[in-house]
Copies of this chain bind each other. A is one copy, B any other.
């Protein structure tokens, strides 16, 4: 595989320290040595999510498995579920919720603009669940989950932190989030494959006894990750290698410090966004709600038809080994998504992509 500079919507380039973890000898999923790594990984996830939630673990699937686990463990057929929708991943939440029988109440904002927390809170008198995306990977917009958390009442608040965790502040306990899930391959700097998830005590008390998914059944999983009367109860074979990689990546994140990691992402995002505007490009996400780690920018008119913009991205990949992301959903062909996440979030990389864009847009 070529050595890419990964500046799309993820995966980002993993922290170099992860490689050593990937090639450590495989041990069994019930080996005391592995269980110590798992426990420490869970502790590091708690710190990263800013929570004391006991049930905080890496699920054995990608970030989308985290989304599915949230709904499948909490939603019974007919439950009213309010979903904020201002991008592809809000849409995905609706689809996942509908498949487990939710009565979905959509609260929309135009793609590129943040959700109105008051509209989300006022959409239904007694929702079982309120769900929204913290950092919309399709648009580069940040939604205000803290305000929704402050007013959530009896509803359980499910938050998609796939693109936010590690890149901007995520404060699960302070913001009263009941379930938050993320991924490994964006701002945490590991390869893709796991979905960190955290579950509050009040959400835990409302986990379904027998959700439609056995694989993602959080009650069963808790008996393995926490043990049951001191015994780790086998559920499925934990992906020990990927958990070792996440453990190492979280070690890097926490050694740098979360605040320093957020500051680094903020600096890179600001530099990138200013640089794109200097190139005459137009940022898509509303000013004030822009994510530093994921920037959407309109495809220049000269590359306006889809074939040309795809060829442009392909040239960046082939000539420079730089990946930037295509638009997704209704933004396909209309925007590029430029990520600065995890280990990729370095000013050197920002200068590189700006220099290459400058040269190639002038051709």
**Residues of chain A having any CB pair with chain B under 8 Å:** 1-4, 6, 8, 10-11, 13-14, 19, 22-34, 37, 60-65, 67-68, 72, 92, 95-96, 99-100, 183, 185, 191-193, 210-215, 234-242, 244-245, 317, 323, 326, 328
Expressed in whole angstroms, the Cα–Cα distance for A213 and B71 within the complex equals: 10
Judge whether A29 and B60 touch: CB under 8 Å: no
Judge whether A239 and B23 touch: CB under 8 Å: no
**Which residues does chain B contribute within 8 Å of A2, judged by CB atoms?**
25, 27, 33
Expressed in whole angstroms, the Cα–Cα distance for A268 and B183 within the complex equals: 40
- Provided the pairs A22-B23, A23-B19 are in contact, do residues A63 and B96 lie with their beta carbons within 8 angstroms? no
Judge whether A192 and B237 touch: CB under 8 Å: yes
Judge whether A1 and B14 touch: CB under 8 Å: no
Name the contact of A191 in the complex, choosing from B30, B63, B183, B239 (C-beta under 8 A): B239
* Chain A interface, >50% SS class: loop
Name the contact of A11 in the complex, choosing from B14, B60, B192, B237 (C-beta under 8 A): B237
Between A1, A30, A240, A245, the greatest number of chain B beta carbons within 10 A of the residue's beta carbon is seen for: A1
Could you list 14 further interchain pairs (A-B, Cβ under 8 angstroms) beyond the known A1-B27, A192-B238? A2-B25, A6-B26, A23-B23, A31-B323, A62-B236, A63-B236, A72-B213, A96-B214, A183-B237, A191-B242, A192-B237, A192-B239, A193-B239, A241-B242
Oligomeric state, in copies: 2
Expressed in whole angstroms, the Cα–Cα distance for A68 and B61 within the complex equals: 13
Question: Which of chain B's residues has its CB closest to A59's CB?
Answer: B61
What is the distance, in angstroms, from A76's C-beta to the closest C-beta of chain B? 12
- Provided the pairs A4-B31, A11-B28 are in contact, do residues A240 and B192 lie with their beta carbons within 8 angstroms? yes
Expressed in whole angstroms, the Cα–Cα distance for A29 and B10 within the complex equals: 9
Expressed in whole angstroms, the Cα–Cα distance for A27 and B7 within the complex equals: 11
Judge whether B210 and A99 touch: CB under 8 Å: yes
Judge whether B99 and A211 touch: CB under 8 Å: yes
**Which residues does chain B contribute within 8 Å of A210, judged by CB atoms?**
99
Judge whether A10 and B237 touch: CB under 8 Å: yes
Expressed in whole angstroms, the Cα–Cα distance for A315 and B185 within the complex equals: 38
**Which residues does chain B contribute within 8 Å of A61, judged by CB atoms?**
60-61, 65, 215
**Which residues does chain B contribute within 8 Å of A99, judged by CB atoms?**
210-214
- Provided the pairs A2-B33, A212-B99, A214-B99 are in contact, do residues A236 and B64 lie with their beta carbons within 8 angstroms? yes
**Which residues does chain B contribute within 8 Å of A64, judged by CB atoms?**
214-215, 235-237
**Which residues does chain B contribute within 8 Å of A1, judged by CB atoms?**
24-27, 33-34, 37, 244
Expressed in whole angstroms, the Cα–Cα distance for A65 and B235 within the complex equals: 11
Expressed in whole angstroms, the Cα–Cα distance for A23 and B1 within the complex equals: 10
What is the distance, in angstroms, from A211's C-beta to the closest C-beta of chain B? 7
Name the contact of A6 in the complex, choosing from B28, B72, B96 (C-beta under 8 A): B28
